[in-house]
């Protein structure tokens, strides 16, 4: 009987040694720290976090490409560091946003070759390749050299490569990165169907698209600066915020009204302000709905007109803001400037 957990990590850590040009610039970068996760078989598990959060690093450790510097991880029942040979036949991985593959081989040849590494009988492999290409709408490109494919199609080919070997645990690193809306939808649909077809199949994907994590995943781990901040079903994560009421309000120009003034209102738990053409957009978390009157009052005092009002359901983005104190976009621009 197979081990019941698909993925299990314990106090997993990874530190990169950065080697500058000179000795004194030697630094250490903590990419993962004390990561404790368990993923059941059959789950679609999402890792959500901004650039540099450590998502790819975690996938690399779990797929035996990178050794952890502390803690341990088991995938499909085997330790990824001590026993990679037991892990490898059971997994596969696809990274989005890069075009890999032997350019002078056709799509079919590329895929066929990889299937052979997993010991699939040739005929069976060809049938699967055809079926999978059909499902992602690429069957007509089967005999195209992969160098002649567009970036998006090459990525689709790469995704097919991941599914082709029918892994017990599949890792997808930003599978929809760089794909257009339609292709992303195809990929997401495909992921769900693949999981449905066999209850033992497990899929772990990383993304920094909130909506993708929300609509796709059974459970999501929110990760930032190498740490897992929360891990639960999307609805449970959002429920944590349910007590607040969030409104999005578009107003005319501010006439001296400041964010600080808004925040000083006792009923306003949190305020965010962005300037838009011809005015401003507010995002306000209020203790209760009736507090809206107070906000309108404030607008009236400054002669600011309300143009649009929206009550917002909490999203995973809000969960992220709650946990980190900043939006994911802010976190990413901050990361770059560091």
Partner 1 sequence: MAAWLGWLIESNWTDPFLFAVYSIVKPLSGAAILVIMYGIISGGNFNTPLFPYIYLGNAFYIYVGAVMTGVSWAVVDDREHYKTLKYMYIAPIYIPVYLLGRGVARFITGSIAVFITIMAGVLFLKVPLHFADINWGLFLVTLILGVVMLALLGLLLAGITLTVARHEGFIGEATAGALYIFSGAVFPLDVLPAWIRPVGYFMPTTYWLELLRRSLVGNVAQAFPTLANFSNLQILGILLGLSVFFGTVSIWVFRYCDRLARERGLIDHTTNY
Residue 49 interacting partner from Mg ion, ligand ATP, partner 1, none (CB closer than 5 to 8 Å by kind) = ligand ATP
Q: Quick one: DSSP state of residue 289?
A: G
Whole-number Å distance between alpha carbons of 19 and 25: 7
The residues in 92-151 that bind Mg ion, with binding defined as CB under 5 A, are none
In contact, 295 and 245? CB cutoff 8 Å: no
Name the binder of 141 from Mg ion, ligand ATP, partner 1, none, CB < 5-8 A by kind. none
Q: Is 225 strand, coil or helix?
A: coil
Q: Which stretch binds Mg ion (CB under 5 A): 49-57, 127-135, 184-192, 316-324?
A: 49-57
Give the chain's length: 338
Comparing every residue's Cβ against Mg ion, the nearest one is 56
Whether the Cβ atoms of residue 27 and residue 79 lie closer than 8 Å to each other: no
User: What's the CA gap between 105 and 270, in Å, rounded?
Assistant: 55
CB nearer partner 1, residue 15 or residue 306: 15
Residues touching Mg ion, count (CB under 5 A): 1
Residues in the interface with partner 1 (CB under 8 A) total 31
The yes or no reply on residue 46 touching ligand ATP (CB under 6 A) is no
118 is a contact residue toward partner 1 (CB under 8 A): yes
Judged by DSSP in three states, 88 sits in helix
One-character DSSP codes across 16-55 = EEE--SSGGG-EEEEEEEEEEEEEETT-EEEEE--TTSSH
Stretch that binds Mg ion, among 52-60, 77-85, 227-235, 291-299 (CB under 5 A): 52-60
Q: Interface with Mg ion includes 207 (CB under 5 A)?
A: no
DSSP 115-129: HHHTT--HHHHHHHH
Beta carbon nearer to Mg ion, 56 or 110: 56
Rg, C-alpha atoms of the chain: 24
Selected binder of ligand ATP within 18, 104, 211, 329 (CB under 6 A): 18
Q: Give, as ranges, the residues between 72 and 101 that touch partner 1 (CB under 8 A).
A: 85, 88-89, 91-93, 95, 98-101
Q: What are phi and psi of 136, to 5 degrees?
A: -95, 10
- Please report, as ranges, the residues that interact with ligand ATP according to CB under 6 A: 16, 18, 29, 31, 49, 51-57, 208
């Amino acid at each position: 009987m197979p081990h019941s957990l698909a993925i299990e990590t314990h106090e997993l850590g990874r530190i990169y040694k950065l080697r500058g040009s000179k000795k004194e610039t030697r630094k250490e970068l903590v990419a993962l720290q004390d990561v404790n996760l368990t993923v059941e078989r059959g789950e679609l598990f999402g890792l959500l976090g901004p650039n540099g959060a450590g998502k790819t690093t975690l996938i690399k450790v779990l797929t035996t490409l990178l050794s952890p510097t502390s803690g341990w991880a088991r995938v499909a029942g085997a330790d990824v560091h001590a026993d990679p040979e037991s892990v490898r036949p059971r997994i596969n991985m696809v990274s989005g946003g890069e075009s890999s593959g032997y350019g002078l081989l056709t799509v079919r040849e590329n895929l066929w070759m990889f299937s052979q590494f997993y010991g699939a009988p040739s005929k069976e492999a060809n049938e699967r390749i055809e079926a999978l290409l059909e499902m992602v709408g690429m069957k007509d490109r089967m005999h195209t050299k992969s160098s002649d494919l567009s970036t998006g199609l090459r990525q689709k080919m790469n995704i097919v490569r991941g599914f082709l070997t029918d892994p017990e645990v599949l890792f997808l690193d930003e599978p929809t990165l760089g794909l257009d809306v339609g292709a992303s939808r195809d990929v997401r649909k495909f992921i769900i169907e693949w999981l449905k077809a066999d209850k033992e199949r497990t899929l772990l994907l990383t993304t920094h698209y909130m909506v993708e994590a929300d609509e796709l995943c059974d459970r999501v781990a929110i990760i930032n600066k190498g740490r897992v901040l929360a891990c639960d079903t999307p609805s449970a994560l959002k429920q944590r915020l349910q007590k607040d009421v969030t409104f999005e309000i578009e107003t005319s120009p501010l006439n001296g009204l400041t964010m600080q003034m808004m925040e000083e209102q006792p009923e306003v738990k949190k305020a965010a302000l962005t300037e838009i053409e011809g005015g401003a957009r507010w995002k306000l978390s209020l203790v209760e709905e009736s507090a809206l009157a107070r906000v309108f009052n404030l607008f009236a005092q400054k002669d600011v007109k309300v143009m649009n009002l929206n009550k917002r359901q909490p999203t995973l983005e809000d969960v992220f803001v709650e946990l980190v104190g900043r939006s994911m976009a802010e976190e990413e621009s901050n990361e770059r400037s560091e």
